[in-house]
Amino acid sequence: NSLSLREAFDRETLSPLTCFFIAAEGLSCLLKSSSQSSVLGGIKVAPTALAVNHLLFADDSLLFFKASVEGAEAVSNLLNSYCRASGQRVNNDKSTIFFSRGCPQTTRDSVKLAVQVHKESLSDKYLGMPTDVGHSKNGTFKYLRDHVWEKVKGWMEKLLSA
């Protein structure tokens, strides 16, 4: 006797979080299969690293794609397919888009129109980490090093005073 995903959720056999993970895995698989495309190739943190085209968090998704109308249309089509299959939908009013520094305004406007996301912003930090590191990694992550060092000093004081 197998239950459908909806029946299992209704009977509280599956938690909402488990259902989210199952749906998120579907989106992840779609994005991975599309990563062969040059427009959805993603970003690399180093020349020899694998490209990453998406990151999924509890209730948040980050998609990385080439800032072009083709890339935006590919992402839009992919998300539409996912929404039709999963019953979920993208909240464009809560969505934001971020472009690299050298991206021309005409490209920005075309991409925002294609994905129907008009809010262009990214806060200074996302999940506690800086969003724009640049070339000065020491300066950018100094607060993190200082915070860890303060914790270590506190532990050392407790151990030495005991």
Domain boundaries, the chain: 5-122, 126-162
Instruction: Quote the pLDDT of residue 132.
Output: 60
pLDDT above 80 (res 35): no
SS3 for 54-95, per residue?
EEEECCEEEECCCCCHHHHHHHHHHHHHHHHHHCCCCCCCCC
Q: How confident is the model at residue 2 (pLDDT cuts 50, 70, 90)?
A: low
Nearest to 42 by CA among 76, 8, 71: 71
Give the C-alpha separation, 27 to 29, whole Å: 5
- Are 130 and 141 in contact by the 8 Å Cβ rule? The answer is yes
Task: Express each pLDDT in 101-154 by its tens digit.
Answer: 788 999 999 999 999 998 887 655 666 665 665 555 566 567 777 888 888 888
Instruction: Quote the pLDDT of residue 30.
Output: 82
Instruction: Quote the pLDDT of residue 86.
Output: 78
